[in-house]
Amino acid sequence: MSLDGVYDEQNIFARILRGEVPAARIREDDATLAFMDVFPQSRGHALVIHRTSKARNLLEVSAQDLCAVMGAVQRVTRAVRAALAPDGIVITQFNGAPAGQTIFHLHVHIIPRWNDVPLGRHGAGGMADFQSLAKLAGEIAAHLDS
């Protein structure tokens, strides 16, 4: 899919926002939702999305909505650090299929990294156990704004 197109109301993130698909939620407010990636590349891999924006990528989002997303990314990243004590944290965001984007709803990845632990390939290990993700989401949420 190119950088241009029409927002798909049936994308998985839109379905999560409507409550049609469960998500291991870390935090949410009127503007954003943070939840665990079901195909994690590392333990604690989280995603942040905007709740109302129909932006498919960074090029389509308003500055106000982007600020809300990035503020949530920072809060969740701090909580991931406090909960999991990684050696580093990757923050990434893809725009268009050639760049690696697979879900065309603007989202930001928070991926904890540890020395000598290889990064998994997204989706290569299969879907993570939802109960484990929910427990981990709770552990991270307990450190929000700490």
What is the CATH classification number for the domain harbouring 53? Answer: 3.30.428.10
Residue 103 in any domain: the answer is yes
86 is a domain residue: yes
pLDDT tens figures, 48-68:
999 999 999 999 999 999 999
**pLDDT, position 146:** 59
Asked if residue 80 belongs to a domain, the reply is yes
Positions in the chain short of pLDDT 50: none
Does 4 map to a domain? Answer: no
Q: Is residue 33 part of a domain?
A: yes
Question: pTM of the entire structure?
Answer: 0.95
Predicted confidence (pLDDT) per residue in 79-91, tens digit = 999 999 999 999 9
**Catalytic choice (107, 109, 122, 143):** 107
Residue 108 lies in a domain: yes
The answer as to whether 7 is a domain residue is no
Q: Does 109 participate in catalysis according to the annotation?
A: no
List for the chain the helix, strand, coil content (%; round to 5). Answer: 30, 20, 55
Domain that residue 82 falls in: 12-141
Overall number of domains in the chain:
1
Query: Count of alpha carbons within 13 Å of 83, Cβ hemisphere only?
Result: 24
What average pLDDT does the chain have? 95
Determine the pLDDT at residue 1.
57
Q: Is 1 inside any structural domain?
A: no
Determine the pLDDT at residue 126. 79
